[in-house]
Structure 1
Amino acid sequence: MLALAWPMILTNLAQVAMTATDVAIIGRLGPNALAAGALGSNLYFAALIFGLGLAYGTAPMMAAELGRKKHSVRDVRRTVRQGLWLSVLISIPLWILLWNGEAILLAMGQKPDLAAQAGIYLRCLQWAILPFYGYIVLRSFISALERPGWALAVMVLAVILNAVGNWALVFGHAGFPELGIAGSGIATSFASFFMFFGLAAVTVIEPKFRRYQLFGRFWRADWPRLWALLKLGAPISGILAFEVTIFNAAAFLMGLIDSIQLAAHAVALQIASITFMVPLGIGQAVTVRVGLAYGARDSEGVSRSGWTAYCIGVSFMALMALMMVVLPKPLISAFIDVSDPANAPVIAYAVTFLMFAAMFQVVDGAQAVAAGMLRGLQDTKIPMLYAAIGYWGIGLPLGALLAFHFGMEGIGIWLGLFIGLAVVALLLLYRWLQRDALRLIQKPVV
């Protein structure tokens, strides 16, 4: 499990590094550019998340086929091709949406000057969507074959390329024109194309991948497989959307309280987001391991793979929770100057919020891994319902009630997040414990 998971974990961390690079470089243009970049990025990721689950859906489908028939070629190739088809189909409406990003932000009540800059940024960044989806599909393919190291290598090169591209295009270095915030969007889009074509080249050159001939007769439709992939992947997109949007909503609610608590919330959440990349990678790995065993109808293998990942993920997050409790200020110092007296109010709130972040580390890791375990069983519809109940039915309303009605402010919001995550984690664990019954009524889609 660890051999498969660690490249996926590092790949997730590299993706975070790419986003951090954009923020750091745009921030040097000034506070207005940074605010516009944040608006554009939030809208971009809100759109991106709705198609991401469709790309993720290819992993359990391919794993189940390889578990059923170890040297399967045709059905694996069919899944990859239709995953790429689906990436194109979902990207088109998202391009149209983001092309009108300025109008959308104005309709949301954002300041005209910030909306205008964000709109320029989005029109350059939006082209990253399709190659990024394609990269996820190809990463799922090589992960199903248990060779995820290639995706990590390509991602690391893309992070470097993105950083250099931002430096050159934002500020006009190395003979390139100075494009400001638009340059960052262009650099990130170019890096995303590099990710896709780099991994595509690997699948063509590497002997273990080459025999699948993934891009041969790419134009041939396979409507039953496309529909099966849509049914499997759409609920995954729903789960991701419910989880991501609750944190966006929490930030909005925090902003209604005051800017100090919003800044402290951002610091604590950034720390929690970094640690989350580990159980996220483990969840991606267990989808493959459970899927392989599921396709082979290996009940013991399904159980062993699932519980191994669950124990690793929960144990790691328990360790991270302990670090947040014992070493809050050293962690916070990575994002804010703790020696500056002017930052004292933010630091005080950040320490408090980090205690609540420590509380939900274990349940957040548990739900991330459990969701991956169930994806391996191709069980995605009920987990999506659980996510809707836990995040938006319980967590967010409870957080808002505690924050504003009971006067708990930011602490109330974090407590709501914790309870919402805990509910989802418990429901997903209960669903996993029913896996024997699930395997009797569900056959792998291959």
Structure 2
Amino acid sequence: MHAGPTTPSPLDEPRPTGWRDELFALSRLAGPLVAANLLQMAVAAVDVIFLGRIGTLELAASTMGVFLFNLLLYAVIGLTSAAAPLIAAELGQRAHAVREVRRSVRMALWVGVAASLVIMAILANGERLLLLADQDPRVAASAGRFLDILLLATIPGVVAGVLRTVAAALGRPGWAFVVTGLALVLSILVNWLLVFGNAGFPRLGLEGSAIASVVSTTGMVAAYLLIFFTDRRLRRYRLFGRWWRPEWPRARDIVRLGMPIMLTWLFEGALFGGAAILMGLIGVTEVAAHAVALNIAAVAFQVPFGVAQAATIRVGLAFGAQDAVWVARAGRTALSLGIGFMGVSAIAMWLAPRLFISAYIDVDAAQNAAVVPLALRYLAVAAVFQLVDGAQAVAAGVLRGLQDTRVPMLVALFGYWVIGFGTAAALGFGTALAGTGIWIGLAAGLSAVSVLLLWRWRARERLGLLRPRSV
């Protein structure tokens, strides 16, 4: 293990004295997180690739089941991600805050496991929920069986999410890339064995894919445990010592900071789910074009999302050190990097939209003749969408570094649902814009959120956000 990723721990790094130092530290932290995020998208795509070869019913059932599972799983991971700003602030305040770091990790795991049990109870009623949503009974029944197995991946998925956050906060983000790569290999292998029944294994189809997800997430936890026990930089924290001992004040801190993050992620995930439903009310062709454009945007979004994760840690270190100059430099560097990349991706989408679309569908095929023009229109809006989506993601990340999560949650609720969904519904069904109007609504909502969060970041001193919290 000692030959693994060599990112220095925050304990070993001098405080940056200029923007170049900060950019170097941020990039070294964000790079592996971006790569891991992209690999995680590949893991999610494996089920679609395998089940798409089995049948339409199985693909539809897995799509419904995975959407519900991921929406709830990532909400809980959002809850536990509060550990990142807490750990960063502790290390910024005192470089060798081993005991404080350990209690944050322990309570994040406790809170995550407790929330996972609630999520598992919800997923156990997946068929009923889908029937209440007026889904096809055959799809709902298959999705219910799929979720009965997939729910077993909830606890390992959340635990892996916590350990990934902790590894990054302790200056070892490269392990996230390594472990996610392992999960991708496991997912492909077990899907190949169990979905199709290769190498003498039973042909389990949909259920085999669910088992593959359980195996890959459990493998991630096992890999992280091995890393934390053998990596010299991480082993010093003895993070699993006295794991049974409660630290209720720190658990309250995790919930206080993490609950707004969880709700923010739910609001955003539900917004895009709602947009897909609106598209479905317009037509099947619009749904297909929407899926292509959204997938392209989602791939590009992994860069500012990774920058935002790193920015939370960098700003958190500066916040813990009570260094306002460092806070400003860390935030400005992260915002410049995230928005700058999205500016480049927006220009690329404007200049060569057909090239991006051709990665998903054959743009010259007759059966796609109606989809391609719509996807081109949506992608033109997505280019603007890229800038504001990157801005709001990184702005939320730097504010989390200041342990500011409640007001950003309210901003997200207002921006996503009042402005975003409201505009999408009004333009999509009240004008001739149809699907393009829905995309304009999404861009409007993200624009509102980005403007308000950026204003809050700029007003941080006046709003008292630099004052230390009692954690």
TM-score computed with the length of structure 1 as normaliser: 0.98
Distance 1:431-1:256 versus aligned 2 partners, 3 A rule: same
Alpha-carbon shift at residue 428 of structure 1 (Å)? 0.4
Counterpart Cα distance in 2 of 1:174 and 1:302: 55
For the pair 1:288 / 2:318, whether they are aligned, the reply is: no
For residues 410 and 50 of structure 1, the distance between their equivalents in structure 2, rounded to whole angstroms, comes to: 28
Choose which of 408, 411, 427 in structure 1 pairs with 2:433. Answer: 408
Q: Give the aligned partner of residue 25 of structure 1.
A: 50
- In structure 2, the partner of 1:165 is 190
Is 1:378 the counterpart of 2:436? The answer is no
Question: For the residues of structure 2 that align with 1:338 and 1:129, how far apart are their CA atoms?
Answer: 38
Equivalent residue letter for 2:459:
Q
Deviation at 1:442, TM superposition (A): 3.8
Q: CA RMSD in A?
A: 1.1
2:284 to 248, 255, 259: 259
Q: Is the 8 A contact 2:415 2:449 kept in 1?
A: yes
Report the equivalent of 2:16: none
Kindly indicate whether the alpha-carbon contact (under 8 Å) linking 1:282 and 1:369 is maintained by their aligned counterparts in 2: yes
Do the aligned partners of 1:64 and 1:444 also contact (CA within 8 Å) in 2? Answer: no
What amino acid is the match of 1:104? Answer: L
Percent of matched pairs sharing the same residue: 47
Conserved 8 A contact 1:60-1:376: yes
- Does the 8 A contact of 2:402 with 2:466 survive in 1? no
- The question of 1:67 aligning with 2:92 is answered yes
Name 1:306's counterpart in structure 2: 331
* CA distance 1:56–1:445, change in 2 (3 Å): farther
Structure 1 match to 2:135? 110
Match of 1:194 among 216, 219, 232: 219
Matches within 5 A, 1:27-426: 27-426=52-451
In 1, the alpha carbon distance for the partners of 2:275 and 2:146 equals 25
Task: Calculate the TM-score normalised by the size of structure 2.
Answer: 0.93
Q: Distance in 1 between matches of 2:301 and 2:246?
A: 37
Amino acid at match of 1:131: P
Conserved 8 A contact 1:377-1:439: no
Structure 2 distance, partners of 1:293, 1:145, is 14
Per-residue displacement from partner, 1:33-52 (whole Å, max 9, x unpaired)? 11111111111122223312
Distance 2:156 2:470 in 1: 25
Q: Give the CA deviation at 1:440.
A: 5.8
- Partners of 1:45 and 1:301 lie apart in 2 by 36
Between the two proteins, the alignment pairs up a number of residues equal to 446
Paired amino acid for 1:231? R
- Report what 1:4 is aligned to: 29
Alpha-carbon distance, 1:334 to partner: 1.1
CA distance in 2, matches of 1:212, 1:46: 32
In the alignment, residue 372 of structure 1 is paired with which amino acid?
A: G
- Give 1:15's aligned residue: 40
Letter in 1 for 2:392: Q
Q: SS of the counterpart of 2:195?
A: helix
Looking at structure 2, the residues matched to 235 and 308 of structure 1 have their Cα atoms a distance apart, in angstroms, of: 25
Deviations 1:232-286 (A, max 9, x none): 0000011111111101000000000010111000100000000000000000000
Greater mean deviation of Cα atoms: 367-376 or 406-415: 406-415
1:338–1:440 CA distance, 2 compared to 1 (3 A): closer
Q: CA deviation at 1:435?
A: 1.6
Mapped partners of 1:264, 1:370: distance in 2 = 29
**In the TM superposition, what is the alpha-carbon distance from 1:441 to its structure 2 partner?**
6.6
Deviation, 1:445, is 5.2
* Structure 1 consecutive aligned stretches of length 4 or more whose deviation exceeds 3 Å: 437-442
Alpha-carbon distance in 1 for matches of 2:175, 2:209 = 26
Which structure carries more helix by proportion?
A: 1
1:427 equivalent in structure 2: 452
Distance in 2 separating the partners of 1:182 and 1:437 = 55
Where structure 1 has 5 or more consecutive residues not aligned to the other structure, the ranges are: none
SS of aligned partner of 2:203: coil
